[in-house]
């Protein structure tokens, strides 16, 4: 291990030296907050004329004085090179009209030092971002078709620095470049993965905090050093690095945050929902026998990789009940069940779709009722007991939720029969009802209506016209009775999907006029079928308590209660 003080210029000023970010490290993750800290630090140092210390850079020596892997400091170093590219681009543009720039900077020399000298690219990011980095930063192009979050951050970082630096005078830019090149740092050069593991606690105190994934990776690498037989230490540490390389390749394609997946994995396999931090992982690890600790770590990281891989499969899946869950918005408590499901069913889509069906019923009830009672604690026993038997899982959910009352069959029925306007599941429920009444062979599928809204068929505020002409249940003062306003007005029987423009055009017009507009709607059958419930024998056409109750009975009793019943889930 060598500690070598240097400067930014000294770090890069070699024609052959280059730095590689290994793929088991996370990709570029800094954002605007860290970019501003970076720039503001530099500006403060220029104004104060102080020495600027950039911190420690932890390197693994691959080939002395030529090739190094960055163990810690990759975010800072990547930002540094992006910043230099933005700074040189602006100065180069200004050099066409400002002689001060021309006389002070040899642009070709600067680009060789920091960006590329012949075929030697000075900084190589993780493999899957290299094409983007090379195009935008090394070659200085303005466009690249970004495909990953880290690539988007690289592009945004360059644009952000360019925007901020354009605000400064040329003299200030030249001072910043001088200050940057003379910035001090300490390189800690290590000779292999074993030494790297011993230094795992080194981290950047001004950058973005390490993720829990990075912390647990470093912890495991260190524990491999502690518990491996001496002749196996290097190999075991490299094993951890190789598995995390595979995990980080997946992470860059995921929509879900990496630390969230770690939590869901530990919910599934470590402590259930009471899992809170990586200290819980460490506790279980420490309680394992010493002779099994190396195997424990290997098994854990292999299973963790499998969980990340399966979450990626889930994100790419288009199974019907998973699509339904997405429409409802998937709560965090669902993912541990999914991770377990993939473990037991692998890629058996019929089993997975049945699992999603069970979870869709659970999530529907959870969202419908929105109780303040502790839902998660009631699920923990179910999660821990779940070992792949879908029928047992369904029964366990049914029993537990009915025992809890809040999300049981009776409570679900109460909510469906009550005030449903503004309920978070209302749009989803009415779309599912629409699918159920479409003609055989035709489905609205994932259809959409412009500026989707909820229509009160009997309007919230009755028309100002003659009460008898409205067709609604109003009194001689054109008001609803208290009982009607409390029960019928905002129940499912009086609510339906409608476009914003359609809703605005009919407002609180008499029912007979509304009915004509519903029947002319070419998309939604729930509008066209209103005529089936209306009293056509009365003039004007009637829409009141009796009609609403008839439609309500069809939606609730004939559709919603059976659909979101555990008993009607078909088990493979």
Residues 348-395 have pLDDT tens digits of: 999 999 999 999 999 999 999 987 778 898 999 999 999 999 999 999
DSSP3 helix / strand / coil % (the chain, rounded to 5) = 60, 10, 30
- What's the alpha-carbon Rg for the chain, to the nearest Å? 32
Query: HEC profile for 144-192?
Result: CCCCCHHHHHHHHHHHHHHHHHHCCCHHHHHHHHHHHHCCEEEEEEECC
Cα torsion angle, 181, 184, 189, 195, sign: negative
Handedness of CA 448, 450, 454, 456 (dihedral sign): negative
CA gap 14, 183 in Å, rounded:
17
- Say if CB 68 and CB 122 are below 8 A apart: no
pTM metric for this prediction: 0.81
List 5's β-bridge partners, or say none.
Answer: 186
Crossing angle (nearest 10°) for helices 293-316 and 233-251: 10
Q: What is the largest CA-CA distance in the chain?
A: 95
Give the Cα separation of 139 and 141 in Å (integer): 6
C-alpha angle with apex 471: 488 to 485, nearest 5 degrees? 25
Separation between Cα atoms, residue 67 and residue 69, nearest integer Å: 7
Task: Give the whole-angstrom CA distance, residue 303 versus residue 249.
Answer: 16
Per residue of the chain (572 residues), give pLDDT as tens.
688 899 999 999 888 999 999 877 888 989 999 999 999 888 888 876 666 777 788 898 889 989 999 988 899 999 999 999 999 999 999 887 877 666 678 899 999 999 999 999 999 998 889 999 999 999 999 999 998 889 999 999 999 999 999 999 998 999 999 999 999 888 888 776 666 655 554 444 444 577 899 889 988 988 998 899 989 988 998 899 899 989 988 988 899 999 999 999 999 999 899 998 999 999 999 999 999 999 999 999 999 999 999 999 999 999 999 999 999 999 999 999 999 999 999 889 999 999 999 999 999 999 999 877 788 989 999 999 999 999 999 999 999 999 988 899 999 999 999 999 999 999 999 999 999 998 644 445 555 688 899 999 999 888 765 665 688 888 888 888 889 988 999 999 999 999 999 998 888 888 988 999 998 876 789 999 999 998 767 666 889 999 999 999 999 999 999 999 999 999 98
- Pull the structure tokens for residue 333: 């408590």
């Amino acid at each position: 291990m060598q500690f070598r003080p240097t400067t930014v210029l000294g770090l890069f000023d070699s024609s052959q030296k280059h730095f590689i970010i290994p793929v088991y490290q996370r990709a570029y993750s800094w954002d605007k907050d860290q970019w501003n800290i970076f720039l503001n630090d530099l500006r403060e140092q220029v104004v104060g004329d102080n020495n600027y210390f950039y911190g420690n850079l932890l390197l693994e020596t691959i080939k002395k004085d030529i090739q190094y892997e960055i163990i810690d400091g990759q975010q800072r170093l990547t930002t540094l090179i992006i910043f230099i590219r933005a700074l040189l681009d602006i100065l180069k543009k200004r050099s066409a009209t400002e002689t001060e720039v021309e006389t002070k900077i040899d642009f070709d020399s600067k680009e060789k030092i920091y960006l590329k000298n012949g075929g030697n690219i000075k900084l190589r990011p993780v493999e899957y971002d290299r094409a983007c980095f090379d195009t935008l930063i090394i070659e200085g192009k303005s466009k690249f078709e970004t495909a990953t979050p880290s690539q988007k951050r690289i592009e945004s970082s360059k644009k952000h620095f360019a925007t901020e630096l354009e605000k400064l005078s040329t003299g200030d830019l030249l001072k910043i470049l001088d200050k940057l090149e003379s910035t001090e740092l300490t390189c800690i050069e290590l000779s292999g993965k074993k030494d790297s593991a011993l230094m795992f606690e080194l981290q950047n105190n001004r950058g973005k905090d390490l993720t829990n994934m990075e912390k647990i990776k470093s912890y495991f690498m260190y524990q491999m050093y502690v518990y491996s037989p001496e002749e196996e230490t290097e190999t075991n540490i490299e094993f951890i690095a190789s598995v995390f390389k595979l995990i980080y390749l997946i992470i860059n394609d995921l929509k879900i945050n990496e630390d969230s997946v770690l939590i869901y994995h530990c919910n599934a396999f470590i402590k259930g929902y009471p899992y809170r931090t990586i200290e819980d992982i460490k506790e279980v690890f420490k309680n394992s026998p010493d002779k099994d600790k190396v195997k424990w770590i290997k098994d854990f990281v292999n299973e963790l990789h499998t969980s990340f891989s399966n979450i990626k499969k889930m994100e790419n899946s288009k199974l019907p009940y998973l699509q339904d869950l997405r429409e409802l918005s998937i709560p965090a408590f669902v993912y541990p069940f999914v991770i377990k499901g993939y473990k037991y069913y692998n890629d058996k889509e019929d089993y997975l779709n049945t699992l999603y069906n069970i979870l869709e019923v659970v999530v529907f009830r959870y969202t419908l009722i929105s109780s303040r009672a502790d839902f998660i604690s009631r699920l923990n026993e179910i999660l821990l007991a779940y070992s792949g038997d879908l029928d047992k899982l369904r029964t366990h959910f049914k029993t537990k939720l009915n025992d809890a009352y809040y999300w049981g069959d009776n409570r679900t029925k109460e909510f469906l029969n009550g005030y449903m306007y503004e309920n978070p599941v209302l749009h989803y429920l009415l779309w599912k009802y629409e699918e159920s009444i479409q003609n055989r062979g035709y489905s609205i599928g994932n259809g959409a209506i412009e500026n989707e809204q909820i229509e009160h068929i009997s309007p919230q505020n009755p028309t100002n016209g003659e009460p008898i002409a409205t067709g609604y249940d109003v009194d001689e003062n054109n008001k609803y009775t208290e009982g009607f306003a409390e029960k019928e007005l905002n129940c499912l029987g009086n609510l339906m999907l409608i476009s914003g423009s359609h809703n605005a055009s009919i407002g609180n017009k008499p029912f007979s006029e509304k009915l004509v507009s519903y029947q002319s709607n070419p998309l939604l059958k729930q509008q066209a079928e209103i005529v089936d419930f209306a009293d056509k024998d009365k003039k004007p056409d009637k829409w009141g308590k009796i009609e609403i109750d008839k439609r309500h009975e069809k939606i609730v009793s004939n559709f919603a209660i059976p659909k979101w019943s555990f008993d009607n889930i078909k088990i493979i």
